[in-house]
Structure 1
Amino acid sequence: MRQLLIASIIIASFTSLQGCAPAIVVGAATTAIIANDRRTTEAFLQDQTIKFRSNDAIYSNKEIGTQVHINVISYDQQVLLTGEAPTGSMREQVEAIVASIPGVKKIHNEIKVQPNSRFESRNNDAMITAKVKGRILRNSNVDPSKIKVVTEHAEVYLLGIVTEEEATASVKIAQQVDGVKRVARVFKIIEEGAAEEEQEISPEQLNQESNDALINKMLDRINNPTPQGSAE
């Protein structure tokens, strides 16, 4: 039976004056997660930055920040937007805000035009997510550390860098969970045999204490991008 990776991301976001982007710091737990992820280390950290910058930009917006309920998930710089907006115009405005965040390559806008969801709906979504993750964990054909599960309005979104076999298996698993209305694939599909070539730094390297400096150097590059027109 496979071991379940038990780790939590230690991320602190700091905002000061308006317009300042969140800075992100990492520790040993983050290092452990990166070691089991198919994203490159820099892509993993870029995703965290995109998420925090997007949330900050959305909820600090005076026109829409208090009226919408938006979840931002970035995976390999592809952003999934779920939640609710009261009008189609606000839905489009949220997408435009996220599209302006540095590093975003593609947006999957699944925001629904309707009143914000209630606690009962969000609690049900959390239960569905837990059930899907649990079933994936028990399946020998899918590594749970490679699949991100998001549920909104009983609709399940599956993200990750996976093979077609892993994608098909995880979709079937999610479809069999009670209460699931729809399963959407938001995968990046890779060839068989290429699955373990995505990570450019080995788990052994990441376990070395000196690599915290390497990761924080990447974070500094992400949090303080070189201005356009300047040489790096």
Structure 2
Amino acid sequence: MAALLLAGLVPVLGGCVPLLVGGVAVGAAAAHDRRDYTTFIDDQQIDFVATAALDDEPGLKGRGRVSVTSYNYLVLLTGQVRSEAEVALAGGVVSRLPKVRKVVNEVTIGPDIDFARKSEDVLLTSRAKLALFKVEVPDFDPTRVTVVTENGVVYLLGLVSVAEGDAAVEQVRYVPGVVQVVKLFEYQEPKT
């Protein structure tokens, strides 16, 4: 049975084989993205380098959790640390990295969120992504929006038109459990 299922999926998955570029796998997500491939790859590299830099920073070791999301050279930092100085340190470390254009530092002061809250955030992210499929703006592709959820706050990143961004926020804000929606979109009007 498994062999039959696999045989049926091979033709479907043929177009989904990731392309390895500079050691980073690029697949179907890149095909729909409005960023060029170089920017797409650079953003993935910024994620890895920034995470490693934060992990190696002596002033942050064992003092909390900071997550990194890069989109079009804008870096979103989320998580929790124990002091305002650590929030500033995390932002400073990332802002000095090559190719980082801007840092949006949403790290909060306090204990790490618990496993239950992290699980709820994963569920909210999934629900928000599903809600984006209800956006009824011509040429809108929900895969072009990156969704990050931290402690009930949903951050939306992407290159979208104003109409797409507004419609996306309108759909996500009604997802049960969402505390707030933060737009970090960059606006790019469709070419006519």
Residues 142-151 or 181-190, more deviating: 142-151
Q: Does 2:121 correspond to 1:91?
A: no
Q: Once the 2 structures are TM-superposed, how far is the Cα of residue 33 of structure 1 from its aligned partner?
A: 2.3
What is the distance in 1 between the residues matched to 2:158 and 2:23? 23
Q: CA deviation at 1:182?
A: 0.6
Match of 2:11 in 1: none
1:154 equivalent in structure 2: 152
1:49 aligns with 2:45: yes
Aligned length, in residue pairs: 176
**Where does residue 60 of structure 1 map in the other structure?**
56
Q: 8 Å contact 1:9–1:26 — kept in the other structure?
A: no
When residues 90 and 9 of structure 1 are mapped into structure 2, their CA distance, relative to the original with a 3 A threshold, is farther
| Deviation of 1:114 (Å) | 0.8
Change (3 A) 1:9 1:126: farther
1:109 to 86, 97, 105: 105
Q: Which residue number corresponds to residue 76 of structure 2?
A: 80
Q: Distance in 2 between matches of 1:105 and 1:124?
A: 31
Instruction: Give 1:92's aligned amino acid.
Output: A
Give 1 or 2: higher strand fraction. Answer: 2
* Match of residue 212 from structure 1: none
Cross-structure match for 1:182: 180
TM-score computed with the length of structure 2 as normaliser: 0.85
Are positions 1:119 and 2:109 aligned together? no
Alignment of 1:197-212 (within 5 A): none
- Structure 1 stretches of 4+ with a deviation exceeding 6 A read 8-11
Question: What's the CA shift for 1:10?
Answer: 7.9
Q: Secondary structure at the match of 1:139?
A: coil
Q: For structure 1, which runs of at least 5 residues remain unmatched after alignment?
A: 1-5, 12-22, 195-232
- Which residue of the other structure, out of 188, 191, 212, is the alignment partner of 2:189? 191
Q: Larger relative CO (CA 8 A, sep 6+): 1 or 2?
A: 1
Q: TM-score, normalised by structure 1?
A: 0.71
Deviations 1:37-64 (A, max 9, x none): 1001111111011110000010122221
> In structure 2, what residue type is equivalent to 1:168?
D
Deviates more, 1:96-105 or 1:130-139: 130-139
Residue 137 of structure 1: how far off its partner (Å): 2.0
Where does the alignment leave 5 or more consecutive residues of structure 2 unmatched? 1-14
- SS at 1:187's partner residue? strand
Q: How many angstroms apart in 2 are the aligned matches of 1:188 and 1:62? A: 34
| AA in 2 matched with 1:167 | G
